[in-house]
């Protein structure tokens, strides 16, 4: 039974919808079985020591490894926020209290980001909870800066975009949606309370673009996860082919066509 | 373990980048279209204004329907067509910033439309093309602000705001392409059977 299953996997096309009939020498529609579904979603072992803090328990196809890779984007997004914030704080400062709040928030963020960056450089991505907390800290800092600069009129709201970019590519879809909803909700309320009615179209545009960036980033991350799964499956098929010495295989190009993207 | 060669050629990998990335660009464009149509409907003060501006977005919507349809049918456009369409996006957004009634240049609040477009483009193309596109977006916005006379170029608060916006546009391009390159590296290693956290990622960080 196990041997038959292995042979069937070996003959299934990359998209799992066809199998190679060696007798008729043609592709035929593959009946969907449990074994086929197993081929479509190969299990990728998590890095050692990370299973206890992984996201796989609730994050679907996004693994703790995805978060680890996405952390580098988050860290660099935060450095951009910190660097730009410092530059702009010293450029024509007007109010002492505002400058104090800005510098305190930015320096606190810099210390936290330094810790996360050192962890990455040492090859030990931080705990999930720390990463989530740091991203929440980004949102809080930007919100604090927006509030001390009279809400809607504050130009620093654009740093929400940098924060959301990092979140959208690093976090699972549900978490991305949650963080984006928090940003849109908080900033929307601030704007509605501080913007004149004639500027509501601009508020709407800002909120819509924050959501658009989140959707684009997360959509891309999901597609990439699927492409990696396909690549790993192809690799395993190739190994099986070499081990079994199977002669009748379709051209390599036919097995490496782009797969149907995630919807 | 047997010595296994890479099953995807570089050309195939590039084609796949455009194939998978195209959907991100299409969705980013949808967001711009939705924002544009909502703004036109919301802010129009006369019938003539509405009838003059709305057809432009309807045409853009038809174009994106075509692009999205091609993608769904499994025959997306090639790299050149995607690039041209993305440049047209920049032209449209710059036109909104310059020509929108009531507020022009730096005072126009619809510069945020640049962000998803630049970010989506950076997720699809290689670094050199992405840098060119991002710089083009930054130059377009700078020119729109300067030519409308809304930036005094005296290193005052208006210049500060302009620099802040340009930095975020650049950050969108950099972060998007940085993630794109991380994913290329991961995909390459996945094709070779490696699935663990790589030291190359630590060095990238």
DSSP codes of every residue in A154-168: -GGGGHHHHHHHHHH
Helix (H, G, I), strand (E, B) or coil at A191: helix
Cβ contact B59:B66 at 8 Å: no
Does the CB of B196 have a partner CB in chain A at under 8 Å?
A: yes
* Residue A113: both structure tokens together: 């980001």
For the beta carbon of residue A185, count every other beta carbon within 10 angstroms.
11
Residue pLDDT, tens place only, A145-178: 888 888 898 888 999 998 999 899 888 889 999 9
**Among all chains, which residue has been given the structure tokens 């720390």?**
A130
- Torsion region of A16: left, alpha or beta (phi above 0 gives left; psi -120 to 50 gives alpha): left
What pLDDT does residue A246 have?
57
Burial class (CB in 10 A: 0-12, 13-18, 19+), A111: exposed
Closest residue on chain B to A121 (Cα): B202
Does the CB of B75 have a partner CB in chain A at under 8 Å?
A: no
Dump the DSSP string for B95-128: HHHHH-TT--GGG-GGGGGHHHHHHHHHTTS-HH
Residues A207, A205: Cα–Cα separation, whole Å: 5
Q: What's the mean pLDDT in B4-25? A: 69
Cβ contact A164:A214 at 8 Å: yes
Q: In whole numbers, what is the pLDDT of chain A averaged over residues?
A: 74
Cβ contact B32:B115 at 8 Å: no
What pLDDT does residue A46 have?
44
Closest residue on chain B to A231 (Cα): B191
φ and ψ at residue A27, rounded to 5 degrees: -80, 140
Q: Testing the interface with A: which of B18, B79, B179, B188 to mutate, by most A Cβ within 10 A? A: B179
Q: What's the mean pLDDT in A88-92? A: 79
* Residue A40: both structure tokens together: 């479509």
Q: What's the mean pLDDT in B76-83? A: 81
Q: How confident is the model at residue B8 (pLDDT cuts 50, 70, 90)?
A: low
| pLDDT beyond 90 at B135 | yes
Does the CB of B157 have a partner CB in chain A at under 8 Å?
A: yes
Q: Testing the interface with B: which of A73, A213, A225, A260 to mutate, by most B Cβ within 10 A? A: A213
Q: Which of A88, A161, A238 lies at the smallest CB-CB distance from B160? A: A88
pTM for this predicted structure: 0.74
Burial class (CB in 10 A: 0-12, 13-18, 19+), A4: exposed
Residue pLDDT, tens place only, A24-81: 656 666 654 444 443 444 444 444 444 333 333 333 445 566 677 778 888 888 898 8
Comparing B88 with B191, the larger pLDDT belongs to B88
Q: What's the mean pLDDT in B176-204? A: 69
- B28 and A253 within 8 Å at the Cβ level: the answer is no
What pLDDT does residue B185 have?
80
Residue pLDDT, tens place only, B92-101: 889 888 888 7
Tell me which of A64-73, A239-248, B37-46, B166-175 is least confident. Answer: A239-248
CB pairs under 8 A between A and B: 205
């Amino acid at each position: 039974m196990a041997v038959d299953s292995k042979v069937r996997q070996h003959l299934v096309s990359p998209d799992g919808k066809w199998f190679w009939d060696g007798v008729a020498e043609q592709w035929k529609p593959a009946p969907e079985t449990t074994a086929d579904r197993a081929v479509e979603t190969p299990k990728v072992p998590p890095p050692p020591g990370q299973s206890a803090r992984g996201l796989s328990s609730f994050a679907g196809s996004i693994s703790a490894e995805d978060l680890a890779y996405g952390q580098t984007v988050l860290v660099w997004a935060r450095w951009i926020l910190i660097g730009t914030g410092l530059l702009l704080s010293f450029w024509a400062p007007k109010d002492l209290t505002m400058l104090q709040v800005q510098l305190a928030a930015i320096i606190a963020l810099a210390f936290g980001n330094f810790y996360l960056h050192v962890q990455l450089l040492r090859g030990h991505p931080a705990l999930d909870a720390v990463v989530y907390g740091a991203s929440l800290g980004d949102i809080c800092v930007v919100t604090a800066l927006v509030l001390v600069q009279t809400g809607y009129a504050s130009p620093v709201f654009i740093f929400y975009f940098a924060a959301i970019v990092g979140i959208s590519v690093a976090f699972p879809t549900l978490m991305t949606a949650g963080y984006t909803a928090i940003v849109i909700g908080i900033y929307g309320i601030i704007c509605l309370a501080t913007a004149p009615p004639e500027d509501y179209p601009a508020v709407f545009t800002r909120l819509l673009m924050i959501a658009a960036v989140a959707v684009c980033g997360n959509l891309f991350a999901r597609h990439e996860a699927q492409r990696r799964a396909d690549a790993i499956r192809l690799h395993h098929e190739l190994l099986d082919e070499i081990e079994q010495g199977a002669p009748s295989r379709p051209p390599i190009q036919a097995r490496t066509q782009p797969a149907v993207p995630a919807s | 373990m047997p010595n296994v060669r890479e099953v995807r050629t570089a050309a195939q990998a590039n084609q796949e980048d455009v194939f998978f990335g195209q959907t991100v660009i299409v969705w980013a464009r949808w967001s711009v279209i939705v924002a544009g149509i909502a703004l036109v409907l919301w802010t129009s003060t006369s019938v003539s204004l509405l009838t003059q501006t709305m057809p432009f977005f309807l045409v853009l919507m038809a174009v994106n329907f075509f692009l999205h349809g091609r993608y769904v049918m499994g025959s997306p456009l090639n790299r050149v067509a995607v690039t041209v369409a993305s440049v047209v996006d920049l032209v449209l957004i710059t036109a909104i910033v310059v020509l929108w009634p009531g507020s022009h240049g730096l005072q126009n609040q619809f510069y945020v439309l640049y962000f998803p477009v630049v970010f989506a483009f950076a997720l699809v193309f290689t670094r050199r093309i992405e840098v060119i596109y991002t710089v083009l977006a930054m130059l377009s916005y700078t020119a729109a602000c300067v030519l409308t006379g809304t930036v005094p170029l005296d290193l005052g608060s208006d210049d500060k705001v302009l620099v802040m916006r340009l930095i975020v546009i650049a950050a969108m391009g950099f972060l998007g392409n940085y993630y794109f390159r991380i994913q290329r590296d991961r995909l390459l290693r996945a094709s070779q059977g490696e699935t663990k956290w790589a030291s190359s990622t630590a060095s990238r960080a």
